[in-house]
Amino acid sequence: MKFRIDVSLKPGVLDVQGKAVEGALHGLGFSDAQNVRIGRFVTLEVAGDDPTHAEAQVKDMCEKLLANPVIESYQITPL
Amino acid sequence: MKFRIDVSLKPGVLDVQGKAVEGALHGLGFSDAQNVRIGRFVTLEVAGDDPTHAEAQVKDMCEKLLANPVIESYQITPL
């Protein structure tokens, strides 16, 4: 079972990396770029035949390692 | 016009961050996790009414700043 996990800062949390990239884009002449936000994604495979169990494991991985639930939200997509 | 850009290492490029996360997952007991790879995504808005021009600008941003075309591939999705 292959999964993709998208991790992004919760709305309202200042995205300093996004702000830095936005500033750099403006510096390069892309003055039309706005609201730049950066997130990350993880693709992984979970061995085993039970999709429900695999997805529950991935959720557990997110809570324990892949995301910071205090400031980040995540979305799990089976691939 | 809002866009999402997915940036990932090209296949075959060693993903050290992914390997580190995979090792950490195994250390936490998730021994079924395999082939962990990490990418990033950028969401941004481009002011203006011409979608073709906006998408061309985003492609230019990718080549100049958002991705490293030597080792990374990117995919632009209009939102």
pLDDT by residue (tens digit) across A23-47? 999 999 999 999 999 999 999 999 9
CA atoms of B24 and A54, how far apart (whole Å) = 18
From the CA of B14, how many Å to the nearest CA of chain A? Answer: 14
Cβ atoms < 10 Å from Cβ of B38: 22
CA atoms of B77 and B58, how far apart (whole Å) = 10
Q: What is the pLDDT of residues B11-35, one digit of tens each?
A: 999 999 999 999 999 999 999 999 9
Does B34 sit within 8 Å of A46, measured CB to CB?
A: yes
CA atoms of B6 and B44, how far apart (whole Å) = 12
Residue extents of the structural domains in chain B: 2-78
Does A48 sit within 8 Å of B32, measured CB to CB?
A: yes
Range A2-78 has CATH code 3.10.20.30: no
Does A40 sit within 8 Å of B39, measured CB to CB?
A: yes
Higher pLDDT, B37 or A49: B37
Q: What is the pLDDT of residues A47-76, one digit of tens each?
A: 988 999 999 999 999 999 999 999 999 999
Contacts of residue A37, Cβ cutoff 8 Å, sequence gap at least 6: A8, A9, A15, A18, B42, B43, B44
- ipTM associated with this complex: 0.88
